[in-house]
Amino acid sequence: MSDYEATSAQAADARIDEPIATAPTSPAPAGAHRAPDRHGLLEVDDVTLRFGGVVALDRVSFNLHEGEIRGLIGPNGAGKTTCFNAMTGVYAPTSGQIRFRGMPLTGRKKYQITRLGIARTFQNIRLFPEMTALENTMVGTDARHKTSVVSALLRLPRHWHEERAGKEKAMDLLRFVGIERRAGEVARNLSYGEQRRLEIARALATEPILLCLDEPAAGFNPAEKESLLKLIREIRETGVTILLIEHDMRLVMGVTERIVVLEFGKKIAEGTPAEVRDDPKVVAAYLGVPTDAA
């Protein structure tokens, strides 16, 4: 199944079941809808994930708290994307547990996790290239719709109402990420930077509580990075918690409050940007030198 088919199947699946209506509307402020953060928003608890002989995650644990911007960094192959995949139901951990608002995610399907309030973007952009920016964003709003397939087929009023509301919400989100003028353009004609922003709009359309961004600034020039930084802060201001994978240290250090560092699947450090920057194990991981030499 291609990436596009997978996303499409997921969106179709998502319309069939009744939603778990807990997540707030983004980008509107939404704290009032939420249960207290008793467990931490997300708990990654001793998670190991193996692919045959490769241990992509090796007993990794960390907690995310509601409202923070957390960095997830590490050299190539460290397990960062695998961590997102484990959190979003792409792969089940070999052992360990991931809980979101106290609820175990193990065994839940991707669309169920979307409805619980976790959204992500992809390291390699995944859009429907022949659909417009507006339509791509509406795929995200569809994941929240209450209408059944039957009412959609019968064109019942509830379906029309939701479709109109979905369109308005998608336009608002395109405006929010700064590409509303491109709403009617097919995704493949958008610039690379616009496509990255469109992915963020689509993820926000699912009304996430936690937004996971996998290298959203990859390939950006300094001005584009600066403007992405601003967007990430604006998203957080709406109440959305953010987990950010990013290789650009200046960007990560400038926007996150805490950082988790992975190397060869293991968590080697966690702390504030300053703590992590000065940690000899982190320096060694990035420079490729033994810890004692660093």
Ligand X SMILES: Nc1ncnc2c1ncn2[C@@H]1O[C@H](COP(=O)(O)OP(=O)(O)OP(=O)(O)O)[C@@H](O)[C@H]1O
Q: Which residues bind ligand X (CB under 6 A)?
A: 51, 54, 56, 74, 76-82, 123
Closest CB to Mg ion belongs to which residue?
A: 81
Rounded to the nearest whole angstrom, what is the least distance from the CB of residue 74 to ligand X in the complex?
5
| Residue 82 binds: one of ligand X, Mg ion, none (C-beta under 5 to 8 A by kind) | ligand X
Beta carbon nearer to ligand X, 67 or 75: 75
- Residue with Cβ nearer ligand X (74 or 93): 74
Return the number of the residue (120 or 202) whose C-beta is nearest Mg ion. Answer: 120
Residue of 7, 26, 81, 256 interacting with Mg ion (CB under 5 A): 81
Q: Which does 147 bind (CB under 5 to 8 A by kind): ligand X, Mg ion, none?
A: none
Shortest Å distance, C-beta 284 to ligand X: 17
Q: Which is nearer to ligand X, 57 or 170 (CB)?
A: 57
Amino acid at 55: V
Name which of Mg ion, ligand X, none residue 79 binds, using a CB cut-off of 5 to 8 Å depending on partner kind: ligand X
Looking at the Cβ atoms of 15 and 80, the one nearer to Mg ion is: 80
**What, of Mg ion, ligand X, none, does residue 23 touch, CB below 5 to 8 Å by kind?**
none
- For residue 143, the minimal CB distance to ligand X (Å) is 24
**Nearest distance in Å: CB 197, ligand X:** 20
Instruction: Find all residues with CB under 8 Å of 105, minimum gap 6, and list them.
Output: 87, 89, 98, 99, 113, 116
Residues 116-135 that bind Mg ion (CB under 5 A): 123
Considering the complex, what minimum distance in angstroms separates the CB of residue 129 from ligand X?
22
Q: Would you say 84 or 176 has its CB closer to Mg ion?
A: 84
Residue 78's binding partner out of Mg ion, ligand X, none, with CB under 5 to 8 Å set by partner kind: ligand X
Least separation, in Å, of the C-beta of 286 and ligand X? 12
Residue of 116, 122, 111, 124 lying closest to 85 (CA atoms): 122
